[in-house]
Amino acid sequence: MMFDDVEKPAGSLDSDEAFDLLQDLGRNTPEEIRRQRSHFRLAIKAAVVLQSGNASDILAMKVKGTTGDVSEGGLSALFPIPPRVGDIYRLQFDRSTLDLPLTFARCVRCRVVREDAFEAGFCFFSPITLPETADTGAESPLIS
C-alpha cells in the first residue's frame, strides 16, 4: 500500500488513536466543557492586553481584548485576532476593573466567533486568587 511506506515520526499517533481523539473532540460541547471545569468562574468584563510570553518577542505583538470569565486556573477572553493554541502569553488586566497582577498563561483553545472576533481559553501557570470585590458587569457573577 502507498501509505504503509511512509515513516512514522516519533511520538505520532496511529490512525486508531487519531480517530479516538477526534471523537473525544466532537463530544466537547460547550455544556460538556462547563461540566468538566474544576473551578468556579467569575463572569467579568475587563480589558486585557495580550503579549507574547517570550521576552524577546514582547514588542512583536500587543492585542487588546475583553475577558468573559476568570477562575483561579484560567480565563476566557475575546480578541480581534486569534492567539495561537499552545503558545505562552503574558496577560495584563485593567486593574481598575479586575485587580490581578501580570499573569502568564498558555492558550488552550481558540474558536472563531465571527470574522473579527476570536474567543480564546487560557490556562494560568500558577493559580491566582480572585479579587473579593469586582465590578462584574454581569447579572450572575459565578458560573460553573
pLDDT, tens digit, for every residue of 102-131?
Answer: 999 999 999 999 999 999 999 999 988 887
Three cell numbers, residue 126: 500558577
Whether the pLDDT of residue 71 is over 80: the answer is yes
Does 14 or 99 have the greater pLDDT score? 99
Report the pLDDT value the prediction gives residue 142, as an integer from 0 to 100: 40
pTM, whole model, 2 decimals?
Answer: 0.68
CB 124 within 8 A of CB 103: yes
Q: Which residue has the cell 480581534?
A: 80
Q: Are 89 and 121 within 8 A, CB to CB?
A: no
pLDDT value at residue 16: 75
Residue with the three cell numbers 460541547: 29
Report which residue type is found at 70.
V
Tell which phi-psi region holds residue 98, choosing left (phi > 0), alpha (psi between -120 and 50) or beta: beta
Please give the average per-residue pLDDT across 80-93, as a whole number: 96
Q: What is the CATH number of domain 38-143?
A: 2.40.10.220
The neighbour count for residue 39, using CB atoms within 10 Å, is: 13
34: enclosing H helix or E strand:
helix 30-36
* 30-52 residue pLDDT tens: 665 555 455 567 889 999 999 99
- pLDDT score at 139: 40
According to the model, what pLDDT value does residue 144 have? Answer: 37
Contact 112, 79 (CB under 8 A): no
Distance from C-alpha of 21 to C-alpha of 2, rounded to nearest angstrom: 24
